[in-house]
Amino acid sequence: MSAPFDEQSLVNLLRGTQEGVREEPARPEAAPNRAPAEPEQPAAPLPDERDFSAALDLVKRACHSLRGAEARAVQMEREMQRLREAAAGQAEEIEALTEHVAALQARADEAEQRAEEAQNRAAEAEGWLVRLHDAIKDGFSPARRPAPAGDEEQEGGAGRL
């Protein structure tokens, strides 16, 4: 498995300094006073091969990451649209409830005004009842009653003659 995907490893890969680059092995220098035991065979030159499988793996990982990010973005857009629609519905509901509350407040104000008017009429009617009661009481009280017709003649009859 190759190294985890990161920007620096991709840059190194593209520059050719990734682990997969083969370099010629360092040749040990022959000691100057020593004769070689075997004749030195020239090493076969290695072609400049790069490990493209590591680059391909990094590209695949980057592609997979991009697809995942795109899928999350699409999912988030859907969720955002759902939330917008829900918010719009709730805004309409809030507006309707606000209108309903205003109508109820107007009805409550009207009922309060009618109750105050009724209370004023009741107080006025009570005043009239008190006056009527007093008038009846005063009108039928013994002190204010007129004397019977026969009583006046007897008392006042002697004086008339």
Per residue in 54-67, is it b (16+ CB within 10 Å) or e — as a string?
Answer: bbebbeeeeeeeee
Q: Is the pLDDT of residue 67 over 70?
A: yes
Q: What is the pLDDT of residue 161?
A: 46
Q: Between residues 26 and 62, which one has the greater pLDDT? A: 62
Each residue's pLDDT tens digit, 109-157: 999 999 999 999 999 999 999 999 999 888 887 766 666 666 555 555 5
- This model's pTM is above 0.95: no
How far apart, in whole angstroms, are the C-alpha atoms of residue 109 and residue 116? 11
Asked if 51 contacts 21 with a C-beta cutoff of 8 angstroms, the reply is: yes
Query: Which residue, 95, 101, 20, is CA-closest to 55?
Result: 20
Whether the predicted pLDDT of 2 surpasses 50? no
Q: What's the average model confidence in pLDDT over 53-73? A: 93
